[in-house]
Amino acid sequence: MDATYEYLVWLLPAAAEWPSWLVVALITALPALACFTFMSLGPLIYVYAERKISAFMQDRIGPNRVGPIGLLQTLADTIKLLFKEAIFPKKVDRKLFVIAPILVNVGAFMPFLVIPWGGRLQPADLNVGVFYVVAIASLSTVGLIMAGWASNNKYSLFGGMRSAAQIVSYEIPAMMILLVPVMIVGSLSLQDITMAQHGGLQNWFLFRYFPIMPVAFVVFFVAGLAEVNRAPFDIPEAESELVGGFHTEYSGFFFAMFFMAEYTEMFVLSATATVLFLGGYLAPHPVLQLLYLPFVGAVPMGWFWLWFKAWSLVFVMMWLRWTLPRSRVDQLMHIAWKVLLPIALVLVVVVGGLVLWPATANGFVWDRWVGWPLTLGLVGFLLYVMVRALQWSRRRAQELAAPARQAVTP
């Protein structure tokens, strides 16, 4: 609340003289409204992006009928879902059936309270920020189990139980890895964790303790994927085995709510990973932190950097979804308990020791020489692959689509 109050006063100096009830109402309602609007309109973009990316990865075109290049497709789908009848099967537990999607959404939306979009652009800077995100995000699992149970359908219950098993397993490595940046910073506040990575790309936690933190990031990302039930760990909704898992019996608006929650959770996980490992709202170079516009002056770009980084991670999630097949339940448990958990345990112990050791308290000697070359190498590699892919695609297009070009157009 303090941060928001400061931000309000910074925006409108007159607010310092306003009556306290108005100020309190404003600083409570405005961030909540902003977050909620942002997050409920977000899935419109995520779903469209997912459909387009999946289409491109499968050499298809994707939605292109509603609006220019299909941009309004999700809007049309949403309106359709909102106006559809919400069917309650005869034997469902009506109360739980209604509460479940709401609870899932609460778990998806509430973490936005502490995600910092800028030095002051944060609804609340809780001193237990990381803990809060973890605790609240786990609420949505209760919602999933509730949905599975209330549906009174064996497949839904399977989905709910699978989701419970998955969360119980994957929370542990994910939380272990959360400890690693927290140990380095010595604070649970997301604002503090972000500021500890200040000063450019080589200070991001991803590039500290060079061979160690990238592994931690990968472990966290994989565990997070499993926590938000994304492919290849989407066994709770596994449409090919469980029909639709926990949302088999849902229709209309309630069904849409599950999807809204899923895509919001994706973004929350990406934003958390960004704050913990990729420097949060900090730019790759301090120069890029402020954008100098004519007539306007310096515009803080923190929101853009957080959004950009989180979106890149969301893209990687979509990329993974269309690359990997769904894993079996036993494989899932194997990955969690026999691969991720040992790695996470070792990482916690090793990083804890390194933080305590004075010589390595701030990272290895070579850390500052690692971040930049690695990033440049990665960017160069991606560009190279992209150029090669474009060449390849052009050649393929000429080969494949040559007959289609001569096709008859009535």
Partner 1 sequence: MRRWFQDVWEGFFTVLVGMRITWRHLFTYPVTLQYPTVKWPLPPRSRMRLFMKFEDCIGCGQCVRACPVDCISLKAEKRPADAPPIWAANGQAIKLHVAVFDIDMSLCCYCNLCTYPCPTNCIYMTPEYEFATSDLTQHLYRFAKKDAQFILEDPKKKAAGQAPAEATAPPATPPAKPAGA
Sites of contact with partner 1 (CB under 8 A) = 53, 55-61, 218, 319-320, 322-324, 339, 343, 385-386, 388-390, 392-394, 396-397, 400-401, 403-404, 406-410
Min CB(339)–partner 1 separation in Å = 6
Q: How far apart are CA 337 and CA 345, in angstroms?
A: 11
CB of 32 to partner 1, least distance (A): 37
Residue number, 298 or 387, with CB nearest to partner 1: 387
Secondary structure of 338-373 in the HEC alphabet? HHHHHHHHHHHHHHHHHHHCHHHCCCCHHHHHCHHH
Query: Could you tell me the CA-to-CA distances from 146 to 97, 98, 133, 247, 276 in Å, in that order?
Result: 7, 10, 21, 11, 31
Nearer to partner 1, 9 or 53 (CB): 53
Least Å distance, CB 56 to partner 1, is: 5
Q: Nearest approach, Cβ of 45 to partner 1 (angstroms)? A: 18
36 or 319: whose CB is closer to partner 1?
A: 319
Residues 178, 171 contacting (CB under 8 angstroms) = no
Which is nearer to partner 1, 145 or 318 (by Cβ)? 318
Residue type, 218: V
Collapsing DSSP to helix, strand or coil, 159 comes out as: helix
Closer CB to partner 1, 361 or 387, in the complex = 387
Least distance (Å) from partner 1 to the CB of residue 69? 12
d(CA 54, CA 34): 30
3-state secondary structure of 211: coil
Of the candidates 108, 227, 132, the one whose C-alpha atom is nearest the C-alpha of residue 173 is: 227
In the complex, the smallest distance separating the C-beta of residue 223 from partner 1, rounded to whole angstroms, is: 14
Q: Of 296 and 407, which has the nearer Cβ to partner 1? A: 407
How deeply is 302 buried, as exposed, middle or buried, from its count of CB atoms within 10 A (0-12, 13-18, 19+)? Answer: buried
